[in-house]
Amino acid sequence: MLLYSRRFSLRMAILLLGFACALGAAAQSFTAPHAKVGLIAENNSLPPGQTAWVGVLFDLEKGWHIYWVNPGDSGEPPKIQWQLPPGFQAKEIRWPTPVRLGTGTVIDYGYEGRVLLPVRMQVPADYKPAKPLTISADIHYLICREVCIPAKAQASLSIPSAKAAKAAADRELFRSTFDHSPKAWPAGWKAQASENGGFFLLSLDTGASESKVTFFPLEEEQIDNSAAQGVTLTPRGVQIKLKKSDQLLKPISVLKGVVVLGPGRAFEVSAQVAGRK
């Protein structure tokens, strides 16, 4: 894999590989190098004063991948620049649970195959759905296999006029994505972190013994992504031993990330590091 420093990764990629730009004016989807990308909506209408889900759908060629919000040891996460009608607001991407990519000393976090990046859209109360609405976006992403290609794409989505939400054909894809996305930390569960030399110890109390666990750090350069995660099962949960990153230059007060306890069991976790405030 072609590696980048995080600060200069995109710039170096452009110099080394050139810029792959795929334009699809007024198109819902288009074919870019090693991927098909488009905008889709959960519903066929946007009711005034409510929120609605839209998203960027990637169909990636086999062997190629894109990145999570924390890309890991290399890469860049996708970025979306929206062109919206007056009064509309796009929230942050609701990132699906990633997978570990790579081997050896380089481990990244991202997605392969078909992946939807959902975004909640706020519809203004004074919006009058008298005619079809067009939503457009510039999508910047890095797609990688043995080399990485920085790409920019333009896509648009036309949504019919209606005063009430009507399910679209892609609603099931949104439902499936939400089912496999990290959920809020359940009430009654506990998460604590401590330091032990060059390691963080993340202790999770879920009320039951867990059979396996994987931790994905939300912030870059906090843990050594390639180091094995030591797992100790406990009667009420699990403890994870995480090696600190060599790039971690100052203490942290909170360890944040996603904990995966099994299929469909991914949770956002935020653990105060003992002794740090």
pTM assigned to the model: 0.86
How many of the other CB atoms lie within 10 Å of CB of 89? 12
CA distance 63 to 72: 18
Predicted pLDDT of residue 245:
97
Question: b/e for 246-256, b at 16 or more Cβ within 10 A?
Answer: eebeeeeeebb
pLDDT digits (tens, 9 = 90+) for 47-105: 889 999 999 999 999 999 999 999 999 999 999 999 999 999 999 999 999 999 998 89
Average pLDDT estimate for 36-48: 91
CA distance 98 to 101: 9
Predicted pLDDT of residue 124:
94
Superfamily of domain 9-179: Immunoglobulins (2.60.40.10)
Are 118 and 158 in contact by the 8 Å Cβ rule? The answer is no
Q: CB-based contacts of 147: which residues, under 8 Å, 6+ apart?
A: 1, 2, 17
Mean pLDDT check: name the lowest of 39-43, 158-162, 171-175.
158-162
For residue 29, give the amino acid letter.
S
- Pairwise pLDDT comparison (253 vs 13), residue with the higher score: 253
Which band of pLDDT confidence, cut at 50, 70 and 90, is reported for residue 13? Answer: very low
- Pairwise pLDDT comparison (28 vs 220), residue with the higher score: 220
Q: CB-based contacts of 67: which residues, under 8 Å, 6+ apart?
A: 75, 76, 77, 78, 108, 109, 110, 111, 141, 142, 144
For residue 190, give the amino acid letter.
K
Residue 30 has pLDDT above 80, yes or no: no
Predicted pLDDT of residue 20:
33
Q: In the numeric block, which tokens belong to residue 121?
A: 């859209």
CA distance 117 to 22: 19
Predicted pLDDT of residue 246:
95
Residue 225 has pLDDT above 80, yes or no: yes
Which band of pLDDT confidence, cut at 50, 70 and 90, is reported for residue 121? Answer: very high
Average pLDDT estimate for 226-254: 96
Are 1 and 17 in contact by the 8 Å Cβ rule? The answer is no
pLDDT digits (tens, 9 = 90+) for 141-152: 999 998 999 999
Does residue 262 sit in helix, strand or coil? Answer: coil
Which phi-psi region, left, alpha or beta, contains residue 135 (left: φ > 0; alpha: ψ -120 to 50)? beta
Predicted pLDDT of residue 15:
30
Are 250 and 128 in contact by the 8 Å Cβ rule? The answer is no
CA distance 39 to 24: 11
CA distance 181 to 138: 24
Are 268 and 184 in contact by the 8 Å Cβ rule? The answer is yes
CA distance 176 to 188: 26
Are 45 and 129 in contact by the 8 Å Cβ rule? The answer is yes
Predicted pLDDT of residue 103:
83
The domains of the chain are located at: 9-179, 190-272
Instruction: Please provide the average confidence, as pLDDT, over all residues in the chain.
Output: 87
Give me the CATH code for the 190-272 domain, please: 2.60.40
Which band of pLDDT confidence, cut at 50, 70 and 90, is reported for residue 26? Answer: very low
Predicted pLDDT of residue 163:
59
**Domains 9-179 and 190-272 alike in fold:** yes
Angle at 213 between CA 272 and CA 225, to 5 degrees: 70
